[in-house]
Amino acid sequence: METATSVRDLLFTLLLKVGVASSIAALLARWNTFRRVLFTEKRDPDQKLKLMLFMTPPLIVGVTLRLVGGPPYWFADLSLEGAFLMGLLGGRVVGPIGGAIITIPALISHEWLAMPAASTAGLLGGLIRQAIPNKEDLWNFGPFTFLNIPKATMRLLGKAQLSWEMAPLAACVGLELGRVALVLATKPKWLFALDARWDWWLTLVVIATLMSVAAPLKIWNNTRIEMNLERHQQLLLKARMDALSSQINPHFLFNTLNTVTALIRFDPDSARGVVLRLSNILRRLLRKHETFVALREELQFIDDYLDIEVARFGRDNLEIVKQLDGETLEAFVPSMLLQPIVENCLKHGLAPKLGGGKIELRTTNRDGRLHIEIEDNGVGISEEKMPHVYVEGIGLSNVRERLRVLYGTDFNLDIQSRAGEGTVIRIDVPALVPAMQTVG
């Protein structure tokens, strides 16, 4: 068995070995499926199979490259470290099976101890995973865990408590020393070792083995932390949206019930029709909360609401005009987007106006963006009140906040008004496809 003959060559090979291990870990972390496997601590058989399918191919390539390329490519062989990692992450079944698979090329080259050694490393990793009470402790193992050895020793002697991150460290040291012992005790070609001799160089080899296991774990742990932050941001977004919706719904229902109360006094038949419309509205509000709904459904909701308001104002006094692009009806918009705006048109624009009133709804789809216009010919908004329109009104302030939360800066909400002539509210948002119906 040939070994490295100079400190420079050995250091270069060991650095390349750690670099390859880190590169493979970073490459795997870019795959969403692998990221989900990492994020799930209690893995089912399917996830364990996915873990093995992702990790074994690059490790097989590394063993093959070492066999074909010779000494310049010895750094590529991570069979022992890879099998141990699969055991730590996948358990005592995935580790040995994965270790056996990645050493098939070595077995074909008559390295008879390669497969048993790698399977033993995988089994040891699986046993450590099984023994650790809190599986999160595995992720505490890092490149500088050895600095905690004095602290772990004092903790064990003083409080009889084990520091479980020391278990992978001890296992890595034991595996490398055991590999060297096997190489020296048997025929050299039966097992590969980077530097099979008992001297101070072996310390460097052991450190490289530790780093080749610890570096991937740290990279993947950072990936898990990022995914956890993303998950919490999504939960925060959903909680924020629910809070905004809870402000809109009672506000809307309170005004609607006032309308029903007024109608009951002088027109019971109309009140009965309003109650039927109100039941449709309540069914919508009591359904499971949806962040996005089809524009067609949102317009149906507006129809029910406007029917109530038409009954209140009288058909001769309120005119509803719709100019809808058929392509926009299946686009998705935030739930309860239009109702607060239409309510503002009625309450602040048309209610104070003597005589009839008109509301126009217009939708278009241009360049992948949905454009919605709601226009009334009411009393308008004075120049003095325009700067405070988002502060004093619950409806418009909530609409703008919901759009900001959902779209960031990729939306436009514009209000143009002239006192005595009316108000136009324009909304411009991305035209979401059906696959993006639900968020959060």
The end-to-end CA distance of the chain, in Å, is 58
Same domain, yes or no: 100 and 167: yes
Q: Look at residue 152 and tell me if it is in a domain.
A: yes
Q: Look at residue 258 and tell me if it is in a domain.
A: no
Between CA 205 and CA 4 the distance in angstroms is: 11
DSSP 3-state of 31: coil
Same domain, yes or no: 218 and 134: yes
Same domain, yes or no: 217 and 282: no
Q: What's the whole-model pTM score?
A: 0.60
| Of 323 and 354, the one with more pLDDT | 323
Q: Measure Cα distances from 414 to 13, 309, 375, 420, 427 in Å.
A: 63, 25, 12, 19, 7
Percent of the chain with pLDDT over 90: 31
DSSP 3-state of 371: strand
Last residue of a domain, which of 211, 231, 251? 231
Quickly count: other Cβ atoms within 10 Å of residue 177's Cβ: 15
As given in the structure block, the two tokens for residue 379 are 């009393």
Last residue of a domain, which of 231, 249, 276? 231
* Encoded amino acid at 108, one letter: I
Q: Look at residue 244 and tell me if it is in a domain.
A: no
Same domain, yes or no: 279 and 224: no
Radius of gyration of the chain (CA): 34
* Structural domain that includes position 91: 7-231
Tell me which range, 224-228, 354-358, 363-367, 388-392, is most confidently predicted by mean pLDDT: 363-367
Residue-level pLDDT at 435? 46
pLDDT tens digits, 175-214:
999 999 999 888 778 899 887 788 878 888 999 999 999 9
Same domain, yes or no: 215 and 337: no
Same domain, yes or no: 156 and 17: yes
pLDDT tens digits, 48-57:
999 999 999 9
Q: Look at residue 42 and tell me if it is in a domain.
A: yes
* 97 and 139 Cβ atoms separated by less than 8 Å: no
Residue-level pLDDT at 3? 44
Last residue of a domain, which of 209, 231, 253? 231
Same domain, yes or no: 208 and 315: no
As given in the structure block, the two tokens for residue 308 are 């109530």
Between CA 295 and CA 300 the distance in angstroms is: 9
As given in the structure block, the two tokens for residue 372 are 């919605």
Q: What is the mean pLDDT of residues 1-28?
A: 81
pLDDT tens digits, 223-239:
888 887 777 666 666 65
Q: What is the mean pLDDT of residues 248-263?
A: 67
CATH number of domain containing 400: 3.30.565.10
Tokens 């609607």 locate to 256
Residue-level pLDDT at 434? 58
Nearest to 105 by CA among 54, 49, 52, 59: 59
User: What mean pLDDT value characterizes the chain?
Assistant: 82
Cα 420 from chain centre: 49
* Encoded amino acid at 20, one letter: V
Q: Look at residue 257 and tell me if it is in a domain.
A: no
Same domain, yes or no: 221 and 281: no
Q: What is the mean pLDDT of residues 411-440?
A: 77
Q: What is the mean pLDDT of residues 279-306?
A: 76
Map 120-163 to HEC letters.
HHHHHHHHHHHHCCCHHHHHHCCCCHHHHHHHHHHHHHHHCCCC
Same domain, yes or no: 141 and 195: yes
Q: Look at residue 188 and tell me if it is in a domain.
A: yes
Q: Is the dihedral of CA 388, 391, 397, 400 positive or negative?
A: positive
Domain total in the chain: 2
* 123 and 208 Cβ atoms separated by less than 8 Å: no
Same domain, yes or no: 196 and 289: no
Residue-level pLDDT at 252? 58
Same domain, yes or no: 219 and 350: no
Q: Look at residue 398 and tell me if it is in a domain.
A: yes
Residue-level pLDDT at 316? 58
Q: Look at residue 396 and tell me if it is in a domain.
A: yes
As given in the structure block, the two tokens for residue 218 are 């740290």
Same domain, yes or no: 74 and 188: yes
